[in-house]
Amino acid sequence: MTYCCALRLKDGLVFISDTRTNAGVDHISVFRKLYTFGIENERFITIQTSGNLATTQAVIGHLKNHLELQQTPNLYSVNTMFEVAELVGHTLQKVIADVTENTQEQSNYYCSLLVGGQIGQAEMQLYNIYPQGNFICATSDTPYFQIGESKYGKPILDRALSYDMPLSEALRCSLISFDSTLRSNVSVGMPLDALIYKKNSLHIPEGKRITEEDPYFQHISKQWSDTLRSGLQNLPNPSDDYFN
Amino acid sequence: MTYCCALRLKDGLVFISDTRTNAGVDHISVFRKLYTFGIENERFITIQTSGNLATTQAVIGHLKNHLELQQTPNLYSVNTMFEVAELVGHTLQKVIADVTENTQEQSNYYCSLLVGGQIGQAEMQLYNIYPQGNFICATSDTPYFQIGESKYGKPILDRALSYDMPLSEALRCSLISFDSTLRSNVSVGMPLDALIYKKNSLHIPEGKRITEEDPYFQHISKQWSDTLRSGLQNLPNPSDDYFN
């Protein structure tokens, strides 16, 4: 499986993906699921992928191929983030249609994608692209999307995340969401890829690969465990009627 | 959906279930999913249910009917908790077979059950009964089972729960697991039913219905939110290379 989450906040975009893929428990590999595109000072685009690995690699492959051969429309020829989402959605539809003959088979090849970025001085956008190629857009009410094994890490995001939060705080919150998921589900695994985009910078960030030895991740993981344990200890005891 | 969890610990058993059922978002009801059986000073049995409501009610209905008509085997005639689990599993198989003509249809009628208790001075047992009627047994290595919407509330159990934990602490931990689930998934809803059985007591506890107005649940829910928020605030800021 996979866990990816992406946030669209007042000050920028945050993307984190794991790298574990599995086809059965005896076929586990490390594959990047976070891809960055862009032209310095003009546009920044990130795509995160979850689902059938052949499908997600084909989608990214076609998008890159179009750029390389300068076939339009491509990620650098379209004018808005909405058109980027449409392009990615159509590419996904085409990839799935290529390997399936009838709709009943399609679900074997499904994948989901998160697409975020900014073009020029237009607003930053974040889209959640469904396996069917249609999509929804993040708003200030719902500033985050998750794909893959999303449930383990959702409670902390639901409680703590807000649109107005500084990027560093949101990053901490997302890393804790990953830490919870990693502990409860072996199909999500280190290393993680993290990327932070600052609003209106139009700078293509390098991103950071977070390994198990990363001192910052180790530190917050340990501190968070201690916080939860002592937090549980400090809860008052239930009243007697709980034991009737 | 549903969320039920049950713990088998050194000092006793803990059971918590939600009460929300839904058949689509416009058909939401409150139904008890935690059932208690027993004979004071002789045996104590609890069953929790998740899945198709007609199936779960039919299983409980048949078990009660057998007791009422004194048809054997029944929950009070069998000799061990293993036989209780077998009886429940067979009853489930029969209920599903009654409403389905071929195996392809069966998954529409699936349900899962947790069965825990103690008979005489034999060890307490906790079983997770699969839709097919077979089952697994909790151990000191894996002292808890969940059925239904289990993922949201799993991280806190994975981190904090241990076999040797006092019952009151385990209850707090489980309630927090429910609190996380309730916040992230509308298909799990209040009130909750909680039941704590003390090892070797052979006393049938009344259990406690926890409503939204329950002052203890409100208190720990609020305190836990504050703990998480301040815990996140207190994490150190990520190093600069996260922002490259």
Whether the per-residue pLDDT at A103 is higher than 80: the answer is: no
Of residues A241 and A204, the one with the higher pLDDT is A204
Q: Which fold has domain A3-228?
A: Glutamine Phosphoribosylpyrophosphate, subunit 1, domain 1 (3.60.20)
Whether the per-residue pLDDT at B198 is higher than 90: the answer is: yes
- How many other C-beta atoms are found inside a 10 Å radius of the C-beta of residue B104? 8
A244: nearest CB among B158, B206, B243? B206
Looking at residue B114, the DSSP 8-state letter turns out to be E
Residues from chain B that touch A156, judged by Cβ atoms under 8 A, are 228, 232
Residues from chain A that touch B243, judged by Cβ atoms under 8 A, are 167, 196, 198, 205
Q: Do B184 and A154 touch (CB under 8 A)?
A: yes
Task: Write out pLDDT tens, residues B63-75.
Answer: 999 999 999 999 9
In chain B, which residue's Cα lies nearest the Cα of A224? Answer: B231
Query: Residue range A85-100: average pLDDT?
Result: 94
Q: Which two tokens stand for residue A190?
A: 């280190």
Whether the per-residue pLDDT at A25 is higher than 90: the answer is: no
Q: Nearest CA to CA, how far is B95 from chain A (Å)?
A: 30
Give the pLDDT band (50/70/90) at residue B183. Answer: confident
What are the sequence ranges of the domains in chain B? 3-228
Q: Do B224 and A231 touch (CB under 8 A)?
A: yes
Q: Do B220 and A236 touch (CB under 8 A)?
A: yes
Task: Write out pLDDT tens, residues A116-170.
Answer: 999 999 999 999 999 999 999 999 999 999 999 999 999 999 989 999 999 999 9
Q: Do A235 and B176 touch (CB under 8 A)?
A: yes
Whether the per-residue pLDDT at B104 is higher than 80: the answer is: no
pLDDT score for A108: 85
In chain B, which residue's Cα lies nearest the Cα of A160? Answer: B229
pLDDT score for A79: 97
Q: Nearest CA to CA, how far is A36 from chain B (Å)?
A: 13
Q: Nearest CA to CA, how far is B198 from chain A (Å)?
A: 9
B232: nearest CB among A151, A173, A216? A173
Q: Is B121 within 8 Å of B199 (Cβ atoms)?
A: no
A172: nearest CB among B181, B216, B235? B235
| Mean pLDDT estimate for chain B | 94
Of residues A236 and B104, the one with the higher pLDDT is A236
Q: Do A216 and B235 touch (CB under 8 A)?
A: no
Q: Is A217 within 8 Å of A16 (Cβ atoms)?
A: no
Q: How far is it, in rounded angstroms, from Cα A134 to Cα A93?
A: 9
B228: nearest CB among A156, A181, A235? A156
pLDDT score for A178: 96
pLDDT score for A192: 96
Give the pLDDT band (50/70/90) at residue B105. Answer: confident
Show contacts of B77-84: CB within 8 Å, 24+ apart.
Answer: B79/B119, B80/B119, B80/B122, B81/B45, B81/B115, B81/B116, B81/B117, B81/B118, B81/B119, B81/B122, B81/B123, B81/B124, B81/B125, B81/B127, B82/B125, B84/B45, B84/B115, B84/B117, B84/B119, B84/B127
Q: Nearest CA to CA, how far is B20 from chain A (Å)?
A: 19
Q: Do B181 and A242 touch (CB under 8 A)?
A: no
Interface predicted TM-score (ipTM): 0.87
% of chain B exceeding 70 in pLDDT: 100
Whether the per-residue pLDDT at B84 is higher than 90: the answer is: yes
Give the pLDDT band (50/70/90) at residue A101. Answer: confident
pLDDT score for B25: 76
pLDDT score for A27: 84
Query: Residue range B117-136: average pLDDT?
Result: 97
% of chain A exceeding 70 in pLDDT: 100
Query: Residue range B163-184: average pLDDT?
Result: 94
pLDDT score for B240: 86
Residues from chain B that touch A185, judged by Cβ atoms under 8 A, are 151
B242: nearest CB among A196, A198, A238? A196
Whether the per-residue pLDDT at A186 is higher than 90: the answer is: no
Q: Do B232 and A176 touch (CB under 8 A)?
A: yes
Give the pLDDT band (50/70/90) at residue A187. Answer: confident
Whether the per-residue pLDDT at B150 is higher than 90: the answer is: yes
Q: Do B232 and A205 touch (CB under 8 A)?
A: no
Question: What is the bridge-based pairing of β-strands A34-39 and A43-51?
Answer: antiparallel
In chain A, which residue's Cα lies nearest the Cα of B237? Answer: A168
